[in-house]
Structure 1
Amino acid sequence: MALYAISDLHLAFNSDKPMGIFGEHWFKHDDKIKNNWLAKITDDDTVLIAGDISWSMKQDESRVDLDWIDSLPGRKIISKGNHDYWWTSISKLNKMYENTNFIQNNYFTYGDYAICGTRGWICEGTKGFSEQDEKIYKREQIRLELSLKTAKDAGYNKFICMIHYPPMNDKFDESGFIKILKKYNVEKVVYGHIHGPGLSKVFNGTKDGIEYIMTSCDYIDFDPVQIM
């Protein structure tokens, strides 16, 4: 019953978005993900997928990508990314599959852990951070805390969080997200969003008692990482 994580699958089975334009390593990346997944993950395992699931713009168009994920072994828990425009009502999404769940203002469980999360946003202190960014940044903090509080009120006190955006700026300053993570004594944070040259500057490790795990596909070579 292992716990794995991956993010930024950027699937496009129903749209014309070949990821090979972002570098040779993205060529047929879905085959790489599937082969690595099948080599290690069983139906008893759980996989956290932290956003940017499908390039589709509408839910009906995304179904082929979501079906592909659901067909893979294990239980899947998905949070939203900035490119997931197909994302609709959370209640509607959570009625679609038996073994694939979606997080938004709610939580799911892995053993005695609550799996919480939100999409996140760029953090204050980032170059070009605007008034509009600040509004979204504050709204996403509310969503993160709501997810954690809902789990805590249900009796959970061990937490793992999924957040698509890095929960800090490129200087690794403490953000509003990190303050919330500390408040609830979150143990692990899975995040993605960053690609290409930016991957040389990501934080992947433990700081102030919280383990931050970078899971963008091209960072982990399209191979889900075991985190527990």
Structure 2
Amino acid sequence: MSIYALADLHLSFNKPVDLFQVNPEEDIVKPMDIFGWDRHYERVRDAWLETVTEDDTVLIPGDISWALRLDQAKNDFGWIHQLPGRKVLSPGNHEYYAQSKKKVREALPEGMEWIDADYTLVEDKVVAGTRGWTLPGDRLWDEEKDRKIYERQAGRLRMALEAAAKDHPEKERIVMLHYPPATKSIPTSAYLELLQEFNVTTCVYGHLHGRAQKEAINGEYEGVYLQLVACDYVDFRPVKVHMG
């Protein structure tokens, strides 16, 4: 029984599809080929089937689906459901369908969980999660637009970690964020400070693609193991989550 992670699946099926019977011209709303991710869903499928068993768990920290509405996202959830293992999902910046945590949870197939500002237990470890946000100092940071969201997301992460620490003070803690809690040019943030405060072992994250991955911190950093698990960074293969 192992814990894996894989972010940024960026699925966009327009109807329920079988794992092995996808017609890219008819079944996909937003092909990722323009980004060089040719039939990336097949690469994810094959690598997942080679790697993950039914007894394993896969953490998926955000940008799961391009869907704008929950009824559309159900097609992508259904595709993921056909893959082996338990799945724990949390939101990214493209989860426009996830306005209601309750409704998302009701829409998920059996064996799939949604966490956002809360936590679940996986293999006797706490897994807490929320989205995160762009960090102050990033080239895209807009003080007027981003500050409130950044601070709200930090509050949501604190809420999740406080609940986990209260309920399971002895258990190892893993965090799912979509955005990185720090980068090579932005060495700290409210998110990283919370990871340190609550003695989090590992934080898995995605969001960084292409040249932006040069900014990624991947490894032990300031007392926390940061692990970039974006699809294109890990060759579309679920990777084992680092344990303390």
Which of 178, 188, 198 matches 1:184?
198
The answer on whether the counterparts of 1:117 and 1:161 sit within 8 Å (CA) in structure 2 is: yes
The answer on whether the counterparts of 1:122 and 1:165 sit within 8 Å (CA) in structure 2 is: yes
Partner of 2:151: 138
Partner of 1:75: 86
State the Cα deviation string for residues 54-100 of structure 1 (Å, max 9, x = none): 01100001111011111210000001010111113212222333210
Structure 1 residue 117: deviation in Å? 1.2
* Aligned amino acid, residue 212 of structure 1: L
TM alignment of 1:1-228, pairs within 5 A = 1-14=1-14, 16-23=29-36, 26-95=37-106, 96-129=108-141, 130-157=143-170, 158-227=172-241, 228=243
Q: TM-score, normalised by structure 2?
A: 0.89
Structure 1 residue 38: deviation in Å? 0.5
The answer on whether the counterparts of 2:154 and 2:190 sit within 8 Å (CA) in structure 1 is: yes
SS at match of 2:118: coil
Counterparts of 2:240 and 2:35 in 1: how far apart (Å)? 26
Structure 1 residue 13: deviation in Å? 1.1
The answer on whether the counterparts of 2:137 and 2:186 sit within 8 Å (CA) in structure 1 is: no
Question: How many equivalent residue pairs?
Answer: 226
Change (3 A) 1:128 1:57: closer
Change (3 A) 1:21 1:82: same
**Relative to structure 2, which stretch is displaced further, 68-77 or 96-105?**
96-105
Structure 1 residue 184: deviation in Å? 0.3
Counterparts of 1:220 and 1:109 in 2: how far apart (Å)? 25
Q: Which runs of 4+ in 1 moved over 6 A?
A: none
SS at match of 1:107: strand
The answer on whether the counterparts of 1:124 and 1:169 sit within 8 Å (CA) in structure 2 is: no
Counterparts of 2:213 and 2:168 in 1: how far apart (Å)? 37
The answer on whether the counterparts of 1:112 and 1:156 sit within 8 Å (CA) in structure 2 is: no
Structure 1 residue 22: deviation in Å? 0.7
SS at match of 2:199: coil
CA RMSD of aligned residues (A): 1.3
State the Cα deviation string for residues 3-26 of structure 1 (Å, max 9, x = none): 000000000112521100012xx0
The answer on whether the counterparts of 2:135 and 2:150 sit within 8 Å (CA) in structure 1 is: yes
* Aligned amino acid, residue 76 of structure 1: K
Counterparts of 1:52 and 1:225 in 2: how far apart (Å)? 17
* Aligned amino acid, residue 159 of structure 2: L
Change (3 A) 1:215 1:196: same
